[in-house]
Amino acid sequence: MIFEAAKESLKKKLSTKFVAVEINPVLLCILFMRRLFNPNRNNIQITYGDMFTMNFNSLTHEPVNSLTFYLYISPWHIEKTVSNIKRQYKRFSIVSYMYPVKSLLKKEKKTEGNKHTVYMYNI
């Protein structure tokens, strides 16, 4: 998903920065390879890390106006990841593919896709 979003950002001449965090070394290698062939590769950062404990401030070298976390992780890990994000930021957005964030149910907006639901939260 990050690679398609980066392509669209480039087409629209946006200066969006994309960061992918992965803990699986095999998937990390695949991400690095895919980044090589993306036309917007200069705005894509691939990082080895654990979303449960990661300090997200370490991912950017400059202040950011807004943060959106796109989560495509198993439902039993979402709450722990969101908890880590909440500890670090007061304002942020989350997009979750397929799985709702139960602790954010009151802020939920759903979009039905072809096969799956996308859940959006503005905190």
The domain segmentation of the chain, as residue ranges, is 1-49, 54-123
The burial class, CB within 10 Å (0-12 / 13-18 / 19+), for 96 is buried
Residue type, 5: A
d(CA 103, CA 53): 19
Q: Provide the residue-wise pLDDT of the chain in tens; the chain has 123 residues.
A: 889 989 999 999 998 889 899 999 999 999 999 999 999 999 999 999 998 899 988 887 777 777 888 888 888 999 999 999 999 888 889 999 889 999 998 888 988 777 788 889 998
The residue with tokens 């990082």 is 47
pLDDT score for 97: 86
Residue type, 3: F
**pTM: predicted TM-score of the whole model, two decimal places:** 0.78
pLDDT score for 89: 87
d(CA 23, CA 29): 11
